Structure 1
Amino acid sequence: MLKKVSSILLVSALVMSLIAGCSPKQSTGGSESGGKKTYISIATGGPAGTYYPLGGAMAKIFNENVDGVTANAQSTGASIENIGLVSKGETEIAFVQNDITYYAFSGTESFEGKEKMENIRGMAMLYPELVQIVATSSSGIKSVEDLKGKKVAIGAPGSGVEANVRQVLAAHGMTYDDLGKADFLSFNEAADQLKNKQIDAAFLTAGVPTSAVTEVAQTSDIVVVPIASEKIAQLAKDYPFYTEVVIPKGTYKGQEADITTAAVMAMLVVPEDLDEDLAYNLTKSLFEKRQVIIDTHTRGNDIQLDTALKGMPIEVHPGSQRYYDEKGVK
């Protein structure tokens, strides 16, 4: 009986040893960790979105260019879930919209009443996600002010899109009360209702071209509504994450002119306590090997060193900042 118990204890000890040996965070010291691997989890989004393929390309860069690192892209629920994963120390790098990062850090909007996530830092700004206002041609809507009295899709409740809508309307002296009806609809729901003329316009925040808008434009006459430069400047003054961008003419069927609009940015967020040398090496390899990202997805062309800090809503990680200082990026 004693031998049987001893055998069980021995097997249990071996199993626990194996589990400990496979821990995803054996080291955080990169190549200085005496041969141990540093495991990097990259929180992205759904497999059908943009974050996931970009995250896979970044994992490839890190694995091939940063000594001692093993990186993997993980599919997640995107920005709001990702920011929580970083704050809890459950991922090392995460894709997040910079407005969501700002809300989480400051405890505002969808994070109001919750503990501020002040243990997060910025690694890099990536590419713009544009605030797109799409209306049916028959609605007569040509400006934000023309949304008064109309049926408008404003995104899901508590979403980044919905916050964008409130802020854009406020910059024009408007609220939801000025709309004929404010519908809380997802991208796909908004697209379907635009096609069926159940709504007059919809707000969407995404990279362009956005498939939901492209789909509507194939079967319906649409108008992409501009946001004036002075209103975008006002937004940027009130909310540091906004930038001015242009939707190039021809982006959507029937779009005959460039359209000025506001944009938030997709960014990479890391934990405050990420090893400084590791953060430096990850940032350096990201930009110096970015052709791998370009070869994977067209958005890779927007990831550029000279815009790596444009729209940064929180403090930059010291390791990343060291690389930007070396390159003169401000």
Structure 2
Amino acid sequence: MRSKYLGVTILVVMLAVMVVPTTTYAETKFFAIATGGTAGTYYPLGGALAQALSSKIEDLEVTAQTGNASVANCNLINDHEIESAFVQNNVAYWAYTATGVFEGKEPIENLRAIASLYPEVFQLVATKSSGIKSFADLKGKRVSPGDRGSGTESDFRSMTKVLGMSYDDFGSVDYLSLGGAVERMKDGQVDFLIFTGGYPTSGIIDLGTSVDLTYISIPDEERAKIKEALPYVIELVIPAGTYPGQEEDVKTLSVVAQWVVDADVSDDLVYEITKALWEKGEVKKGSSKGQMKTGAEIMAEVHAKGKEVTLETALAGNAIPLHAGAEKYYKEIGVVK
């Protein structure tokens, strides 16, 4: 009899265990944003955006990663090695259509847009001792056109080609990140650098505090010639006083920074991150719990260019397809019909 009751007891215990509800945990999703070098504008803005998205979206961890900027970032998305990235609008267009610096390559057909962010300005800087005041003065000089695979280098190559110049005209060419070019100019090893990005740029501010610089304007005739050949650029002025020793406005040109994403990322996730970029919402986790801010507002707190990230210009300069998740959000709020 004892064995009989023992069997019944075991059966009851087993049934009880089976019906007790178990705690389930949602799987954490990971999402990365490829940015640029630490001395540029992409990196601090990407870091702020990553923090905002991680705080506002349940079960999502977002990281910002340094990178070689636009061209390299498009290639990362092509290879499905990163979920999203900051790139220039012209580079995104070239990548999607296999034109420009991507001519002769396979188009990056999985490239999609989430939002346009802010103008990316062509900033041309030379040491005063070099005597460089224009593109023509670069002949025979030591030039840093940007890092290999960067949008900056692509911009510089495109402009010099339009103006009838080539890299063979320069005394030397050093492919460097902004941080690397700044250090070389401090050491007197580089005469000129170009950087495409939002102003003020910390690396150029740093350089201007220790080296006498010339901030170069592009003459009216040359700007018109470049605009005619490169229709995605716009005119822009860097106001006097933006950088150390900058006494006059600098007339230059600009493209637009975009946030792009792999088409394979789920529609639901891209919808959520697009919404978090533009809408206030309860912070789900982190030290600032309960804070109500948009991703754009948080970007504005860490860098002056973040103040230019607005819903009104969310699609400015976009020349590639929107991700379906982003498009769904923009249709809901009437930005896309």
2:214 paired with 1:208? no
Residue 219 of structure 1: SS of its match in structure 2? coil
For residues 212 and 274 of structure 1, what CA distance do their matches in structure 2 show? 33
Larger radius of gyration: 2
Give the Å deviation of 1:165.
1.5
Aligned positions of 1:1-330 closer than 5 A:
36=26, 39-45=29-35, 48=38, 50-66=41-57, 68-79=58-69, 80-108=71-99, 110-177=101-168, 179-186=169-176, 187-228=178-219, 231-232=222-223, 234-239=225-230, 241-288=232-279, 289=294, 290-325=296-331, 326-328=333-335
AA at the equivalent of 2:87:
V
For residues 182 and 295 of structure 1, what CA distance do their matches in structure 2 show? 39
Structure 1 pair 126–176 and aligned structure 2 pair: CA distance change class (3 A) = same
Give the Å deviation of 1:35.
9.0
Structure 1 pair 52–213 and aligned structure 2 pair: CA distance change class (3 A) = closer
For residues 81 and 152 of structure 1, what CA distance do their matches in structure 2 show? 21
Residue 321 of structure 1: SS of its match in structure 2? helix
Deviations 1:25-69, CA, capped at 9 Å, x for gaps: xxxxxxxxx995572412234683544443343344434544x55
AA at the equivalent of 1:183:
V
Q: What is the RMSD computed on CA atoms of the aligned residues?
A: 3.2
Structure 1 pair 173–47 and aligned structure 2 pair: CA distance change class (3 A) = closer
For residues 190 and 55 of structure 1, what CA distance do their matches in structure 2 show? 22
Structure 1 pair 235–123 and aligned structure 2 pair: CA distance change class (3 A) = farther
Deviations 1:239-274, CA, capped at 9 Å, x for gaps: 454332222211221111111212233321112244
For residues 233 and 65 of structure 1, what CA distance do their matches in structure 2 show? 44
For residues 303 and 54 of structure 1, what CA distance do their matches in structure 2 show? 10
Give the Å deviation of 1:210.
2.8
- Contact (CA 8 Å) 1:40, 1:91: kept in 2 or not? no
Structure 1 pair 232–304 and aligned structure 2 pair: CA distance change class (3 A) = farther
For residues 175 and 47 of structure 1, what CA distance do their matches in structure 2 show? 26
For residues 90 and 191 of structure 1, what CA distance do their matches in structure 2 show? 29
Structure 2: 5+ residue stretches without partners: 1-23, 280-293
Structure 1 pair 35–192 and aligned structure 2 pair: CA distance change class (3 A) = closer
Length, aligned pairs only? 295
For residues 241 and 279 of structure 1, what CA distance do their matches in structure 2 show? 26
AA at the equivalent of 1:144:
F
Give the Å deviation of 1:321.
3.1
Q: Percent identity of the aligned residues?
A: 39
Structure 1 pair 113–301 and aligned structure 2 pair: CA distance change class (3 A) = same
Larger displacement relative to structure 2 (132-141 or 84-93):
84-93
Q: TM-score, normalised by structure 2?
A: 0.73
Give the Å deviation of 1:163.
1.9
Structure 1 pair 134–47 and aligned structure 2 pair: CA distance change class (3 A) = closer
AA at the equivalent of 2:214:
V
- Contact (CA 8 Å) 1:125, 1:267: kept in 2 or not? yes
Give the Å deviation of 1:310.
2.0
AA at the equivalent of 2:29:
Y
For residues 218 and 208 of structure 1, what CA distance do their matches in structure 2 show? 16
AA at the equivalent of 1:225:
I
Give the Å deviation of 1:225.
0.7
Structure 1 pair 183–93 and aligned structure 2 pair: CA distance change class (3 A) = closer
- Contact (CA 8 Å) 1:41, 1:73: kept in 2 or not? yes
